[in-house]
Amino acid sequence: MRIQNFQVALVKKTQQLLPRALRDFQPRAFFSLVKLYYSNPKLHYEVWVRGAERLVEIGLHFEADKRTNDSLFAFFNARALELRAE
């Protein structure tokens, strides 16, 4: 499957699988990665197709101001064990 086709399918499938209240995210595709975000593009998920390694990397990125990033990091860090269990 071509990367662009994968990106389109990823966005469509993600919208289908999310609860209705979370489906209104914005997708942005750049070469071999796609960013998914809501109101702030600096806080986004990235799905990066690393073809040479035959990997798909998924990450949550905090690229806002330091205070926002630190606050979000603290929130998720406090729940790390709970999140890993899911």
> For position 85, what pLDDT does the model report?
64
Closest CA to 6 of 40, 34, 28, 25: 34
Q: What pLDDT score does 38 carry?
A: 98
Phi, then psi, of 11 in degrees rounded to 5: -60, -45
What one-letter code names the amino acid at 42?
K
What contacts 44, CB < 8 A, 6 or more positions away? 35, 36, 37, 60, 61, 63
Provide the pLDDT for residue 9: 96
pLDDT computed for residue 86 by the predictor:
56
Digit-coded pLDDT (tens) for 24-71? 999 999 999 999 999 999 999 999 999 889 999 999 999 999 999 999
- Residues 7, 34: contact at Cβ < 8 Å? yes
Q: Cβ distance 72 to 43 under 8 Å?
A: yes
Residue 84 amino acid letter: R
